[in-house]
């Protein structure tokens, strides 16, 4: 009886951990990352199985047709590259500190932080914003971006989910660059998908 109780507790603990999943194929649109954070792609976007690293809390999304030439999913209105990065446990830092975090991103130290995180190198901060549990920043790379063929401007959004900071980045393509407004539309779509997938009801920026 005791052994059965221990096994039940162990199974419950594993379920609570919400272990990361795996990308099921080239047309996958949802994925569980570390910490139990679920990524859900906007319409026309899929999760790239080659670049995504669920155990590291990283997901890379692009147009389904760009990942899989045989995909029958519709082409998105805005072609972009989207990344989602989940922070470590207890890394949440946005909710309740939105104005201060926004102000920090406008400093040279904040620009330096943005330049060494996610995708890209040194950046100039062009615009910032803040709302409930969301801080946004629009930047331009001052060096060639790490992803060949991507435009230098990108939106980044920071939000807290399940005790972790989550970063969403949206970047257009050099062959079909997005305006600041267009890339922001994709960012807002991704945030809505992320919050819906994780049952978080909060206001957007």
Question: What's the confidence (pLDDT) of residue 25?
Answer: 78
Q: Can you tell me which residue has the tokens 């692009």?
A: 62
Separation of alpha carbons 191 and 205, rounded Å: 10
- pLDDT value at residue 116: 65
**Is residue 12 situated within a structural domain?**
no
- Asked whether residue 106 is assigned to any structural domain, the reply reads yes
Q: What is the CATH number of the domain that holds 162?
A: 3.40.1000.10
- Which pair of tokens denotes residue 88? 């470590």
| 49 neighbors 58 (Cβ within 8 angstroms) | no
* 48, part of any domain: yes
Helices within 60-171 (DSSP H only): 64-67, 98-105, 108-116
Task: Return the structure tokens found at 100.
Answer: 């201060």
Tell me if 44 is assigned to some domain.
yes
Is residue 117 domain-resident? Answer: yes
Q: Quote the number of domains for the chain.
A: 1
Per-residue pLDDT of the chain (205 residues; tens, 9 = 90+): 444 444 333 333 333 445 678 887 789 999 999 999 999 999 999 999 999 999 999 999 999 999 999 999 999 999 999 999 999 999 999 999 999 999 999 999 998 888 865 455 689 999 999 999 999 999 999 887 777 889 999 999 999 999 999 999 999 999 999 999 999 999 999 999 999 999 854 444 5
**Full residue range of the structural domain in which residue 44 is found:** 20-197
Classify residue 14: in a domain, yes or no.
no
Token code pair at residue 109: 């130290």
Q: Report yes or no on 9 lying in a domain.
A: no
Residue 119: its pLDDT value, please? Answer: 53
User: Is residue 181 a part of any domain in this protein?
Assistant: yes
Q: How far apart are CA 91 and CA 110, in angstroms?
A: 17
């Amino acid at each position: 009886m005791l052994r059965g109780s221990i096994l039940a507790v162990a199974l419950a603990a594993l379920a609570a951990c919400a272990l990361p999943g795996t990308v099921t194929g080239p047309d996958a649109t949802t994925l569980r990352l570390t910490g139990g954070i679920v990524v859900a792609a906007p319409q026309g976007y899929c999760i790239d199985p080659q670049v995504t690293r669920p155990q590291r809390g990283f997901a890379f999304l692009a147009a389904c047709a760009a990942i899989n030439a045989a995909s029958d999913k519709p082409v998105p209105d805005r072609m972009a590259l989207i990344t989602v990065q989940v922070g470590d446990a207890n890394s949440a830092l946005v909710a309740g500190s939105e104005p201060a975090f926004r102000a920090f991103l406008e400093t040279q130290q904040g620009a330096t932080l943005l330049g060494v995180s996610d995708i890209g190198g040194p950046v100039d901060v062009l615009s910032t914003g803040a709302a409930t549990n969301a801080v946004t920043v629009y930047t331009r790379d001052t060096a060639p971006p790490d992803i060949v063929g991507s435009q230098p401007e990108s939106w980044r959004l920071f939000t807290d989910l399940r005790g972790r900071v989550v970063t969403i980045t949206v970047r257009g393509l050099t062959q079909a660059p997005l305006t600041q407004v267009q890339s922001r539309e994709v960012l807002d779509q991704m945030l809505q998908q992320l919050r819906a997938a994780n049952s978080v009801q909060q206001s957007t920026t």
